[in-house]
Amino acid sequence: MTTLRKTLAALGFISLGAIGSVGLQAAAGPGGPGGHGGPGGDHGLRVLGRAMSQLDLSDEQQAALDAARDDIRARMDEARDDLDDERGELHQALVDGTLQRKDVKARIKARMDQAEELMLYTADRVFDVYETLDSEQRAELVQVLDEVAARHEQMRERRDAVRDGRGDRRGPGGPGFESEAEE
């Protein structure tokens, strides 16, 4: 393979990775799959869904929550499969020398539209379950969400302190960690 072809291939893989990352993050919401956005879209809606699962739900409410999760997961899996197919198509266009800027931009726009659709669908499904909660369950949900918010605030403060050099960084290289080389 010539140097030019190797360089083009490397740039293509970088572009594919970036497109895939943007598309998958867009389809999954902030944070990407498995992270804070994870399957199902917006992090806040996922937190709400998890908090609902901590409530004393009736069998019907639990079934509705499970169905909503299954539906959202199926849509996310479909988006992921679409992205995998798209990566293959983009790779082939790169190999064939037919990759065009306007096509890449159109695909990114389509990914963003798909992500918006998925997040709106997730919101609808979560609120379908939320609307079945009685006043006691809603009050309990507020308490659970307040606890989640407090934990997030503590984590944010610790992360910011570590980032600013004020915090206690645990783990390899941090205080209290001794490597085998130091022993």
Mean pLDDT of 111-132: 89
pLDDT band at residue 32 under the 50/70/90 scheme: very low
pLDDT of residue 123: 86
Does 1 score more than 60 pLDDT? no
pLDDT of 50 reads 79
- Sequence-distant (6+) residues with CB within 8 A of 148 are 47, 51
Residue 24 has pLDDT above 80, yes or no: no
pLDDT in tens, 152-172: 899 998 888 888 777 665 555
- Nearest partner of 78 among 48, 37, 111, judged by Cα: 111
74-105 residue pLDDT tens:
998 998 898 888 888 888 888 888 988 898 88
Domain residue spans in the chain?
A: 9-133
Question: Is 28:39 a contact under the CB 8 Å cutoff?
Answer: yes
Dihedral angle of Cα 131, 134, 139, 145, to the nearest 10 degrees: -40
What residues have CB less than 8 Å from 70, skipping those under 6 apart?
none
Closest CA to 28 of 85, 98, 76, 86: 76
Closest CA to 29 of 21, 39, 20, 19: 39
3-state secondary structure of 134: coil
> How big is the CA angle at 129 (ends 58 and 26), to the nearest 5 degrees?
140
* DSSP-based helix, strand, coil % in the chain, nearest 5: 75, 0, 25
CB neighbourhood size of 67 (10 A)? 13
Q: Nearest to residue 111, comparing CAs of 86, 74, 147? A: 86
- pLDDT score, position 31: 40
Rounded mean pLDDT of the chain?
Answer: 74
Q: Which pair of structure tokens corresponds to residue 152?
A: 């997030």
